[in-house]
Amino acid sequence: MALTFTEEQEELRTTLRRFLTDKAPSAAVRHAMDSDEGHDPLLWRQMADQLGLHGVALPEEYGGSGGGPVELGIVTEELGRVLLPSPYFATVALAGQALTASGDEAAKARWLPAVADGSLTATLALAEAGGSWELADIEASAAHGTVSGTKMFVVDGHTADLLLVVARSDTGPALFAVDGDAPGVTRTRLETLDPTRRLARVDLDGAPARRVGPDGDASAYLRTVLDLVTVALAAEQVGGAQACLDAAVEYAKVRVQFGRPIGSFQAIKHKCADLLVAVEGARSAAYHATAVAADTSPEPPLTDVQSGPAELSSTGARSAPAELPVSAALAAACCADAFTRAAKENLQIHGGIGCTWEHDAHLYLKRAKSSEQLFGGPATHRTRLADLVGI
């Protein structure tokens, strides 16, 4: 499936890039990441009020603009270029997509308008102490309208107004909405490698909860949500990788050694050329995944068939697995690797100055390594991809 951006989508990218160039230079990013809030509240309001970014992937009936994964991918890519510290990814890419795909009209009507206008921050809480993002490893439990357990690595979990918690019910894994300040909720900010994205530990002890999404075993729905989230993260990683490539190439043009720009040396040329190939490959994988995600019904699947491995037919040929899980796994592995590689090469090409605190190279490397482990590392996604295609 190919993706060709429309004129409106290109205008969204252009407008947002211009906005971030003005509002989120390196100094502003550093100030925000060191602040008590972890982001700029004024910029958060401007993103919602002036650009309507919070509703870019939400249905119009809930205050959104009626876009989807493609528009969201454009936004996360541009935010990733500047490493903007913001609850946007947690609120819109995680919680917003989970609510939109839930098929739960009451939940969507209750929370999506507030997400769209920027008055509500939210997040998705899945991983636990073991660090696994697999539904089979969930130990948090839900019973009698409450949720108990511990969630780790929750993006912006220490400040989110709404927590969407994955817990095990009598019928299997399901999603539960918990107020961030509800009784029985204890939130602790974690010390993390990446200062531009905050993570938290959330302890739940009989916290009041409301079920969101389909009845019964919601595993298929939750896997679809994770695929959508993974695609949004892949687009963000492409933005970060491109920023690293741009910085490396620009420095290679102006840094003079032995009387000539270092970009004229064959070793540096090869580094930049190889990096360009890696970044463009990641971009293709991410864009393909967003196109597939946009073409996938947001309603929860009726069965688990679509996310299972390819099956052998009576003739011995393998049937094709559903495209979203395959494209999401491919994009996740490819984009994580490309971002980490780009961040490392950017630092290497900059040499000594790239190792200083004052230079932004280390911030991109920290974001790359942190994002690499969100929702499973590249090896996890490659294993899943192999299972999906029946290797």
Mean pLDDT of 237-257: 94
CA trace torsion 257, 262, 266, 267 (10° rounding): 90
Residue 316, pLDDT > 60, answer no
Q: What is the C-alpha separation between 383 and 385, in angstroms, rounded?
A: 5
Nearest alpha carbon to residue 235 among 199, 289, 274, 198? 289
pLDDT tens column, 94-126 = 999 999 999 999 999 999 999 999 999 999 999
Residue 259: pLDDT band with limits 50, 70, 90: confident
Q: pLDDT value at position 355?
A: 87
Q: pLDDT value at position 342?
A: 97
Q: What is the C-alpha separation between 283 and 4, in angstroms, rounded?
A: 13
The total of other beta-carbon atoms located within 10 Å of residue 72's CB is: 27
How far are the Cα atoms of 153, 172, 282, 345 from residue 338, in angstroms, in the given order?
Answer: 23, 36, 6, 10
Q: pLDDT value at position 314?
A: 36
Q: What is the DSSP letter of 342?
A: H
Q: What is the C-alpha separation between 173 and 222, in angstroms, rounded?
A: 8
Residue 312: pLDDT band with limits 50, 70, 90: very low
pTM comes to 0.92
Q: pLDDT value at position 262?
A: 83
Q: Which residues contact 228 (CB under 8 A, 6 or more apart)?
A: 69, 97, 101, 293, 328
Q: What is the C-alpha separation between 381 and 237, in angstroms, rounded?
A: 15
Instruction: Report the DSSP beta bridge partners of residue 338.
Output: none
Q: pLDDT value at position 1?
A: 52
Q: What is the C-alpha separation between 233 and 376, in angstroms, rounded?
A: 11
Pair of tokens at residue 296: 């996938």
Pair of tokens at residue 117: 């206008």
Residue 295: pLDDT band with limits 50, 70, 90: confident
Q: Which domains does the chain have, with CATH numbers?
A: 7-120 (1.10.540.10), 123-212 (2.40.110.10), 219-388 (1.20.140.10)
